[in-house]
Amino acid sequence: MFIDNLKLIEDLVCEIQRMKDNNDTQLPWLDKLLWNIIEKEKSILAQELHDTILQEQLHLARELDVLASSPIINKEKVLDIREQLLNASKDLREYCENLSPPLLDTFGLQMALKKLLQKVKIRADFLLNTQIERVQFHDVTLHLVVYRLVQELLNNAIKHAEATEVSLRLQATNRGFILQYDDNGVGCNIEDLMQSSASMGINGIRERVRAFNGDITITSSHNEGMHIFIQIQEDVESYD
């Protein structure tokens, strides 16, 4: 059902894109709706994986504990299989968290970002400097938007930047936020970037910003790093 829903969404996005190209019109409300639908489907998938595959693997690990106590079975081999299952469970749990960050709903954006940044600092081979202000919105969806933007910016840095230093600043504004990213990596020509595989991450960031009527500026050149400035203002007319 999840795959079927994604296929329907993909077909709908293609049809809407065709309409927009023909009519040269912008439909930010529709972009926002589709983005919300996709995020909801990700959340459903995360819960399904947690309740089925993850629980099954933990059960198998307990069963192997019992089998390992039998003198007939190669205990070393069984324990090795058990370790593999637990490692797979750990990876699967992390995958679920990436799809639907659990701390975001439970403890809020600040705690979710703190855990995300801790993970990045362990994985990354660059020095990460951060300045994260507390932001609050009427539209709780924007908390997830901020989280995803930070996540995508840092994933892009890990995969493509080849930087030794990366800085990230989240600044609260009146009814909105500013997110500024800078690195001292290899940089690129923006036109060339759009033709490379790295453009998928950048385009994903652009689409998220555009869906919420935000502004994004990307500047870069070879061996001069990359600098991204994002500003989103919350539409609060419905709350006034």
Summarised one tens digit per residue, pLDDT across range 128-153 is 999 999 998 988 889 999 999 999 99
Domain ranges of the chain: 2-99, 102-233
Q: Is the pLDDT of residue 195 over 80?
A: no
Location of structure tokens 């080849």: 162
Sheet (strand 127-132) strand order: 127-132, 165-173, 176-183, 226-233, 215-220
What is the CATH T-level fold of the domain 102-233, as seen in this structure?
Heat Shock Protein 90 (3.30.565)
Which ranges of 50-123 does DSSP label H, i.e. alpha helix?
55-68, 75-99, 102-107, 109-123
One-letter amino acid identity for 186?
Answer: V
Spatial separation of the C-alpha atoms in residues 227 and 64, rounded to whole Å: 51
Return the pLDDT at 15. 67
pLDDT digits (tens, 9 = 90+) for 6-29: 656 666 766 666 666 666 566 677
Q: Is the pLDDT of residue 240 over 60?
A: no
From the centroid of its chain, how far is CA 226?
A: 19
